[in-house]
Amino acid sequence: MDASNNEETVALDEACQDAWQAYNAMFDSKQCHYEFLEILENKKKKFNLSPTQEDQEKLAQFLSDHDHQVKRFTQLAQELKASSPESHLLLFKFIAQLGDGEPNKKTQH
């Protein structure tokens, strides 16, 4: 895996893999939360429909999942820093090369 900019290309090493996967899971969970929030906002704007109790519970679950993924990434990043400071630096250089910090971008908020 690599990302590039005009100066250099940083590639992740094997030690980064768990933290990188957690990073992607964190952004996937964020995306799910934002996409559902956008659906609810559109229902309100277009049809003047407020979120149902089920909608609110689903939204809360998306947020809870995202919180869990953030904690998981943070923990794995800290473990990586302790076990391999060089790999930790590579991971964050790689993330910085993504531009906006997101591996893929669907919904914009």
What pLDDT is attached to residue 1? 53
Question: How does pLDDT run across 13-68, given as a tens digit for each residue?
Answer: 999 999 999 999 999 999 999 999 999 999 999 999 999 999 999 999 999 999 99
Per-residue pLDDT tens digits for 64-107: 999 999 999 999 999 999 999 999 999 999 999 887 656 755 44
pLDDT by residue (tens digit) across 73-83?
A: 999 999 999 99
pLDDT for res 98: 86
Give the pLDDT of residue 10: 84
Per residue, the 3-state secondary structure of 44-87, as one string, reads HHHHCCCCCHHHHHHHHHHHHHHHHHHHHHHHHHHHHHHHCHHH
pTM of the shown model: 0.81
* Residue 103 CB neighbours (<10 A): 16
> What is the rounded CA–CA span in Å between residue 80 and residue 24?
16
Give me the sign of the Cα torsion angle 57, 60, 66, 72.
negative
